[in-house]
Structure 1
Amino acid sequence: MRTVGLLTLALLACGTVVHAIIASETRQQFFSPKLSHRVYRTDMPAETAGVTAQFASPVDAAIKLATSTYQLKTSEMVVRNFYTSKDTGISHVYLRQKFAGRDIDNADMNVNIGPAGNVISFGSTFLPASHVADIALTATDLANVEAVSAQDAVNSLLVHLGLPKAEAPLPVVSQVDGTNASDSPIVVTGVPGSVDPATELTKTYMITDEGQLQPVWSLALRTADDWVQGHVSRTDGSVVSLVSWKSRATYNVYSKDHPSPAAGDRDLVVDPANSGASPNGWHGMSDGTVYTDTRGNNVVATENQSGDYEWDGKTRPDGGETLEFSFPLDLSQDPSTYSDAAVVNTFYWNNLLHDVYYQYGFTEDAGNFQEENFGKGGKDQDSVQAFAQSGDGTNNAWFMTPPDGQRGTMSMFVFTITDPKRDGDLEADVIIHEYTHGLSNRLTGGPANSNCLNSLEAGGMGEGWSDIMAVLFQLKSTDTHDTNYAIGPYVSGAPGGLRRNLYSTSATTNPSTYSDLNDPSNQEVHNIGELWAEMLYEVVWAMIDQAGFESDIYNAASTAGNTLTMRYIINGMKLQPCNPTFITARDAILQAEQQITEGNYKCTLWNAFAKRGLGVGASAQQSSYTSSTEVPEGC
Structure 2
Amino acid sequence: MSFRDALTLIYVASLCVHFASSLPWHGSVRHSTHRRRELAKGLIFETYHPISFFETFGPGVDHPLFKRSDATLNESALSFVHSKLDLKPGDALVHASYEGSSARYAYLRQHIQGIPVANAVANVAFNKDSKVVAFGSSFLQQVPKPPSGIPTIDVQNAIKTAESALGGRHVPDNHPDSSGIQYVLQGDGTLALTHVFQVSNETTGAWFEAFVDAHSGKLLSVTDYVAHATYRALPIQKQDLTEGFEDIVDPEDMASSPLGWHNDGKTVSNTTAGNNALAYKGVQTNVTTESQDNLTFIYTQDTATVPTTTANLDAARVNAFYVVNKMHDVAYRYGFTEAAFNFQTDNFNHSGRGNDRIIVSVQTTPGTDNAYFTAQPDGVNGQIHLYLFDYTSPGRDSALENDIVVHEITHGITNRMTGGGTASCLQSLEAGGLGEGWSDAMAEWTEHSSADIADYVLGAYVTNNPAGVRTHPYSTNTATNPLRYSSVAALDEVHAIGEVWANILHNVYAALVQAHGYSQTALTDPSGTEGNVVFMHLFIDALPLQPCNPTFVNARDAWIQADVNRYAGANKCLLWKAFASRGLGVSAADYADDSSVPTGC
Deviation at 1:290, TM superposition (A): 2.0
* Secondary structure at 1:381 match in 2: coil
Structure 1 position 241 matched with structure 2 position 246: no
The answer to whether the 8 Å contact 1:49/1:120 transfers is: no
Q: Measure, in 2, the Cα distance between the counterparts of 1:206 and 1:437.
A: 25
Q: Measure, in 1, the Cα distance between the counterparts of 2:306 and 2:434.
A: 35
Counterpart in the other structure of 2:565: 595
Tell me the amino acid that sits aligned with residue 316 of structure 1. T
Q: Measure, in 2, the Cα distance between the counterparts of 1:507 and 1:318.
A: 48
Tell me the amino acid that sits aligned with residue 352 of structure 2. G
The answer to whether the 8 Å contact 1:148/1:234 transfers is: yes
* Secondary structure at 1:80 match in 2: strand
Tell me the amino acid that sits aligned with residue 323 of structure 2. W
| 1:402-421 aligned within 5 A | 402-421=376-395
Tell me the amino acid that sits aligned with residue 120 of structure 2. A
Deviation at 1:47, TM superposition (A): 6.5
Q: Measure, in 2, the Cα distance between the counterparts of 1:572 and 1:207.
A: 27
Q: Measure, in 2, the Cα distance between the counterparts of 1:392 and 1:197.
A: 28
**449, 454, 463: which is aligned to 1:476?**
449
Structure 1 position 143 matched with structure 2 position 116: no
Deviation at 1:476, TM superposition (A): 1.5
**98, 104, 116: which is aligned to 1:83?**
98
Deviation at 1:246, TM superposition (A): 1.1
Could you tell me the percent identity over the aligned residues? 35
Q: Measure, in 2, the Cα distance between the counterparts of 1:228 and 1:585.
A: 26
Deviation at 1:362, TM superposition (A): 0.3
**326, 331, 334: which is aligned to 2:298?**
326
The answer to whether the 8 Å contact 2:49/2:119 transfers is: no
Counterpart in the other structure of 2:184: 206
CA 1:575/1:34 → structure 2, altered by over 3 Å: closer, same or farther? same
Tell me the amino acid that sits aligned with residue 237 of structure 1. G
Deviation at 1:201, TM superposition (A): 4.7
Deviation at 1:283, TM superposition (A): 0.6
Counterpart in the other structure of 1:280: 259
Counterpart in the other structure of 1:11: none
Which stretch of structure 1 is more off in the superposition, 193-202 or 529-538? Answer: 193-202
Structure 1 position 52 matched with structure 2 position 24: no
The answer to whether the 8 Å contact 1:317/1:344 transfers is: no
Q: Measure, in 1, the Cα distance between the counterparts of 2:527 and 2:473.
A: 30
Aligned residues: 556
Deviation at 1:80, TM superposition (A): 0.8
Tell me the amino acid that sits aligned with residue 225 of structure 2. W
The answer to whether the 8 Å contact 1:444/1:573 transfers is: yes
Structure 1 position 394 matched with structure 2 position 368: yes
Q: Measure, in 2, the Cα distance between the counterparts of 1:47 and 1:261.
A: 51
Deviation at 1:271, TM superposition (A): 0.5
* Secondary structure at 1:546 match in 2: helix
Q: Measure, in 2, the Cα distance between the counterparts of 1:23 and 1:108.
A: 26
The answer to whether the 8 Å contact 1:548/1:561 transfers is: yes
Give the structure-1-normalised TM-score: 0.84
Structure 1 position 115 matched with structure 2 position 86: no
| 1:216-227 aligned within 5 A | 216-224=194-202, 225-227=205-207
Tell me the amino acid that sits aligned with residue 95 of structure 1. L
**169, 172, 177: which is aligned to 1:193?**
169
Tell me the amino acid that sits aligned with residue 496 of structure 1. A
Q: Measure, in 2, the Cα distance between the counterparts of 1:236 and 1:302.
A: 42
Counterpart in the other structure of 2:437: 464
Counterpart in the other structure of 1:65: 80
Q: Measure, in 2, the Cα distance between the counterparts of 1:268 and 1:487.
A: 24
Deviation at 1:607, TM superposition (A): 0.8
Q: Measure, in 2, the Cα distance between the counterparts of 1:52 and 1:46.
A: 11
CA 1:26/1:212 → structure 2, altered by over 3 Å: closer, same or farther? closer
Q: What are the ranges of 5 or more consecutive residues in structure 1 without an aligned counterpart?
A: 1-19, 164-191, 305-309
CA 1:427/1:408 → structure 2, altered by over 3 Å: closer, same or farther? same
* Secondary structure at 1:565 match in 2: helix
**432, 446, 455: which is aligned to 2:420?**
446
The answer to whether the 8 Å contact 1:195/1:223 transfers is: no
Q: Measure, in 2, the Cα distance between the counterparts of 1:567 and 1:30.
A: 37
Render the CA deviation track for 1:267-292: whole Å, top value 9, x for unaligned: 000011111111111112334x3201
Q: What are the ranges of 5 or more consecutive residues in structure 2 without an aligned counterpart?
A: 1-7, 13-36
Structure 1 position 291 matched with structure 2 position 265: no
Counterpart in the other structure of 1:156: 161
Deviation at 1:356, TM superposition (A): 0.4
Output the aligned Cα RMSD.
2.1
The answer to whether the 8 Å contact 1:109/1:577 transfers is: yes
Counterpart in the other structure of 2:53: 39
**548, 556, 569: which is aligned to 2:517?**
548
CA 1:576/1:195 → structure 2, altered by over 3 Å: closer, same or farther? closer
The answer to whether the 8 Å contact 2:106/2:125 transfers is: yes
* Secondary structure at 1:237 match in 2: coil
**254, 261, 268: which is aligned to 2:241?**
261
Q: Measure, in 1, the Cα distance between the counterparts of 2:512 and 2:496.
A: 25
Tell me the amino acid that sits aligned with residue 437 of structure 1. H
Render the CA deviation track for 1:210-250: whole Å, top value 9, x for unaligned: 3322111111112111111121112222222211111214x
Structure 1 position 604 matched with structure 2 position 574: yes
CA 1:442/1:197 → structure 2, altered by over 3 Å: closer, same or farther? closer
**473, 482, 485: which is aligned to 1:502?**
473
**462, 480, 485: which is aligned to 1:491?**
462
Counterpart in the other structure of 2:4: none
* Secondary structure at 2:308 match in 1: helix
Deviation at 1:71, TM superposition (A): 2.4
Q: Measure, in 2, the Cα distance between the counterparts of 1:198 and 1:53.
A: 41
Deviation at 1:160, TM superposition (A): 2.7
